[in-house]
Amino acid sequence: MKNNYNLRSIAAQAIGQVLDQGQSLSTILPSLQKNISDKDRALLQELCFGALRVLPQLEWCIQQLMAKPMVGKQRTLHYLLMVGMYQLLYTRIPAHAALAETVNGAVALKRPQLKGLINGVLRQFQRQQDQLLQRAANNDSRYLHPSWLLKRIQQAYPEQWEHIVEANNQKPPMWLRVNRLHHTRDEYLKLMEQAGIAAAPHAEYRDALRLLSPCTVNELPGFAEGWVTVQDASAQGCVDLLDPQDGEQILDLCAAPGGKTTHILEAAPKAHVMAVDIDEQRLSRVNENLQRLRFSAEVKQGDGRTPQQWCGDKQFDRILLDAPCSATGVIRRHPDIKWLRRDRDIAELASLQAEIMDAIWPHLKPGGVMVYATCSILPQENNEQVLAFLQRHADAQRVETGKQHQPGRQNLPHPEDGDGFFYAKLIKL
């Protein structure tokens, strides 16, 4: 493929789509990556994710260096400056190459007359970099979070908030889930050692391994054969808690992209699993995951608030509800979440979660188990949500999985552990 594109201008446009149009990087990047070379795909991802991870720092530096912000049609050039600064600060790209490519980005964005401006600001940044960073370290931009979210984290975790924020700002560890139908975790660990890949087992989740340094999936022994799946450790905890059994009718609700669906089938290959999600496009990922691991499940498009439409009066032995949420526990994997979410979203999401829980509960058999899970760290979506549900449903009983005075278990993001995740296990009386 001939390299006739400017990667920095593509990154600037992608960042603009996130910040100005509210689109997520996971939606934007796949189509952009189709048109660029293999080696540039990873760099595009690094530039976009990286710039959004440290956005307040880059914004603050630009404010110090420019008399007035670039607005309107020139806004993409503002994002191009961010991409340039990010490279100078956080990548090993030689400074001269980073500058030249970023300045050429102005031409690719059909603003050749602004090449001089981009060059001037970036060179000034190079000269003043140390002083600027020192000053930035003494204002709120150093937390790299929007103020509303920082406030919520501080209120919920007065003693741990700094650790949470720090973990959110780091690159995420790469976790694997070993398919127990092929190998035990220890057996697979030996295969990894033979392949020269260093990994460590999770202390609690039985299938989870953390790579000491990330690699591509093609390097993993037996990836194509379904021996292993890339999945965060905390996400794996859902299925350990659900404890699916062969022969049972199990519902995985809000199932896309299918990591938990396939984990259920690894744990109970003879279970009858229905995987449901509202997003038809994302359901194709569920089918891809099932195919790679050679499993079959009943995959349906449907709204969790209206289960009669997709399962009639059917009842299930177990239900895993990985509810739509703020995703504040997975910010390190998806730094654009910080800029896509708004404070008002939390109440709206909590209301949607309650609606889905109430709608699906009648479809759980008496004696059945429901695991409610979110990748959020906010109490409104988690323990407060479950407490309110227990008050509304006299036939629901919680199974202790965390502190006695709180329903459920809250994992917080940690550099050497899983993402922020909440689970609560409920039994129907």
Give just the sign of the alpha carbon dihedral 333, 339, 342, 345: negative
Q: Is 375 a catalytic residue?
A: yes
State the burial class of residue 186 (Cβ atoms within 10 Å of its Cβ: 0-12, 13-18, 19+). exposed
* Structure tokens given for 289: 């995951």
Closest to 182 (Cα-Cα) out of 221, 138, 128: 221
- Distance between first and last Cα of the chain: 61
- CA–CA distance, 110 with 291 (Å, rounded to integer): 44
**Rg of the chain taking only CA atoms, in angstroms:** 23
Query: Is-contact 265 179, C-beta < 8 A?
Result: no
- CA–CA distance, 115 with 363 (Å, rounded to integer): 62
DSSP labels, 130-164: HHHHHHHTTSGGGG-S-HHHHHHHHHH-TTTHHHH
Give catalytic residues, as residue numbers. 375
